[in-house]
């Protein structure tokens, strides 16, 4: 044997014919391919090839193959664990409370507002001249409130900014209207346009405040300014429409028109509930005031008007004494207006859910109908009460029957 001969195996030169000799410098042969999976019988799970059956594999956890099977048709792949359970959705955050920072704000605004009211009442002397010492204090308090609101709007942050803009701003706007009225009170002809000016200033400033901070207090202030101008408009124009006997109807219709317009416009704002309820309170009070005036007018006319009759004096001259006016038609029309507003508030309560609309819908018939019966001087109020009670009871019974039937279906 030579040095080049291997120490074991086939001797050199004894390779089978046709087999090329492997040089010593060649690379080692590639590793054998991995074993393939042996198909198994679907019924028994045993391999189809002969030989000992492999040990059963441990049950695998349910996993999901990402991206589908790997190329080549093999069953190997990267399996990811099941995705984690998503966390529970947190409950809606409660609205932030203003905190103790509101305490000094409302107390300070209250003190400044007291100064404005006091000086507006004392700024006119006995001869109606302006007392500039008092008037100056009122102007300074008003300016301070408006200045605080503007600075808070420009420099503040967070919930404290909203409160410091809202309450000093609202009080300052109302103070500006009061100081404007005191200063221009004695101008000749001011009674014809002063209410329009004050109402317009209050409305415009409140609208600017609402656009800046979107708080309902500014919307209420704007309604007050608009109402002041509307009262003057009613006195100048609307009251002169129609005959003297129709003034109660015109007054009630004027109040209802204001309520309907303000409610409709306010419904487009975020503060729809607040504006609608404030307008509703104005309508509730206004309709009842109209009926109260009618009651008082009827009482005084009955006392001092005498009766419809003719009489003559000693000279033979005939006179006709006017009897008390007949307000029956007025009352029935006012009943119709009150019914319209009641249905409007009941609908708003159903759509918005604010209990203020429900209270208005309850109070309107509960106050207007009794007042109207006094004007009508009904002789049998028992029939009125019985009819109202029957109608209300039937409505509630219908709702209760619906609830009962729904409960039986569930069981």
Q: Tell me: the pLDDT tens digits for 240-283?
A: 676 666 788 888 999 999 999 999 999 998 888 999 999 999 99
* Least confident among 22-31, 169-178, 197-206, 291-300: 22-31
Phi (first) and psi of residue 299, to 5 degrees: -65, -45
CA–CA separation, 165 and 161 (whole Å): 6
* Least confident among 28-32, 182-186, 255-259, 399-403: 28-32
Phi (first) and psi of residue 214, to 5 degrees: 55, 50
Beta-bridge partners for 309: 321
Interval 57-106: pLDDT, tens: 555 554 444 445 555 555 454 555 566 665 554 444 455 666 777 889 99
Structure tokens at 335: 């009943």
Structure tokens at 410: 């569930």
Q: Which residues of 332-369 are buried (b: 16+ CB within 10 A; e: fewer)?
A: ebbbebbeebbebbbebbeeeebebbebbbebbbebbb
Phi (first) and psi of residue 348, to 5 degrees: -65, -35
CA–CA separation, 398 and 79 (whole Å): 62
Write the CB contacts of 121 (distance below 8 Å, at least 6 apart in sequence): none
Interval 145-201: pLDDT, tens: 999 999 999 887 777 788 889 999 999 999 999 999 998 888 887 788 899 999 999
Phi (first) and psi of residue 32, to 5 degrees: -70, 150
């Amino acid at each position: 044997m030579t040095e080049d001969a291997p120490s074991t195996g086939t001797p050199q030169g004894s390779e089978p014919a046709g087999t090329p000799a492997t040089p010593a410098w060649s690379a080692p042969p590639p590793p054998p391919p991995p074993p393939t999976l042996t198909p198994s019988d679907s019924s028994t799970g045993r391999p189809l090839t002969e030989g000992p059956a492999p040990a059963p594999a441990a049950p695998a956890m349910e996993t999901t193959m990402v991206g589908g099977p790997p190329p080549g048709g093999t069953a190997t792949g990267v399996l990811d664990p099941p995705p984690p359970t998503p966390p529970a959705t947190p409950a809606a955050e409660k609205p932030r409370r203003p905190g103790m920072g509101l305490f000094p704000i409302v107390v300070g605004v209250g003190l400044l507002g007291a100064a404005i009211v006091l000086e507006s009442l004392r700024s006119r002397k006995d001869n109606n001249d302006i007392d500039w010492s008092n008037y100056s204090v009122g102007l300074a308090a008003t300016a301070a409130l408006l200045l605080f609101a503007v600075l808070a709007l420009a420099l503040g942050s967070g919930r404290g900014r909203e409160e410091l803009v809202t309450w000093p701003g609202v009080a300052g706007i109302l103070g500006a209207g009061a100081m404007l009225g005191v200063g221009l009170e004695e101008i000749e002809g001011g009674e014809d346009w002063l209410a329009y000016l004050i109402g317009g200033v209050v409305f415009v400033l409140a609208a600017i405040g609402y656009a800046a901070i979107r708080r309902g207090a500014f919307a209420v202030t704007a309604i007050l300014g608009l109402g002041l101008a509307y009262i003057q408009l009613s006195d100048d124009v609307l009251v002169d429409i129609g005959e003297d006997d129709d003034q109660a109807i015109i007054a009630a219709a004027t109040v209802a028109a204001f309520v309907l317009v303000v409610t409709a416009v306010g419904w487009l704002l975020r503060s729809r509930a607040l504006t609608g309820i404030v307008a509703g309170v104005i309508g509730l009070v206004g309709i009842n005031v109209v009926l109260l005036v009618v009651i008082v007018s009827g009482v005084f006319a009955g006392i001092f008007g005498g009766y419809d009759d003719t009489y003559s004096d000693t000279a033979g001259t005939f006179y006709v004494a006017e009897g008390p006016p007949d307000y029956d038609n007025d009352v029935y029309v006012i009943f119709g207006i009150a019914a319209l507003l009641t249905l409007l508030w009941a609908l708003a309560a159903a759509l918005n859910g604010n209990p203020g609309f429900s209270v208005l819908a309850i109070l309107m018939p509960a106050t207007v109908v009794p007042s109207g019966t006094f004007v009508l001087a009904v002789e049998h109020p028992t029939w009125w009460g019985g009819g109202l009670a029957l109608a209300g009871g039937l409505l509630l019974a219908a709702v209760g029957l619906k609830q009962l039937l729904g409960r039986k279906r569930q069981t």
